[in-house]
Amino acid sequence: MRNASAEARVSLTIDGNRIDVAAGTTVAAALALAGVRGTRTSVTGQPRAALCGMGVCQEFRVTIDGRPHALACQTLCREGQIVLTRNAAGAR
């Protein structure tokens, strides 16, 4: 008998591309699965991505459902969620 919770999936959109992930996946993990290597740039133009993976460094910020500066590593994916990285969202 299969575990129903292991099969639960959610669908979200990252920079206009749909991705399905397991329920309970963080947005940071979904970004990695989608091949996103950075979510914003530093003031000098260098790409920035997750550093600590738990929200302390504040580096993995994205726009989620219109809310800018959400921490991808502390946010769980939800059905229909729309995630934009700096590259897709433009200057914030």
The pLDDT assigned to 47 comes to 78
What CATH number does residue 58 fall under? Answer: 3.10.20.440
Give me 59's structure tokens: 């580096």
Q: How many domains does the chain have?
A: 1
Strand partners, 41: 47
Report the C-alpha dihedral over residues 11, 28, 41, 81, rounded to 10 degrees.
Answer: 30
Where in the sequence is the domain holding 66, given as residue range(s)? 4-89
Strand partners, 67: 64
* Full pLDDT tens readout for the chain, 92 residues: 555 556 799 999 999 999 999 999 999 999 999 998 887 778 898 877 777 777 778 888 899 999 999 999 999 999 999 999 976 544 33
The pLDDT assigned to 87 comes to 62
Q: Is the pTM of this model over 0.85?
A: no
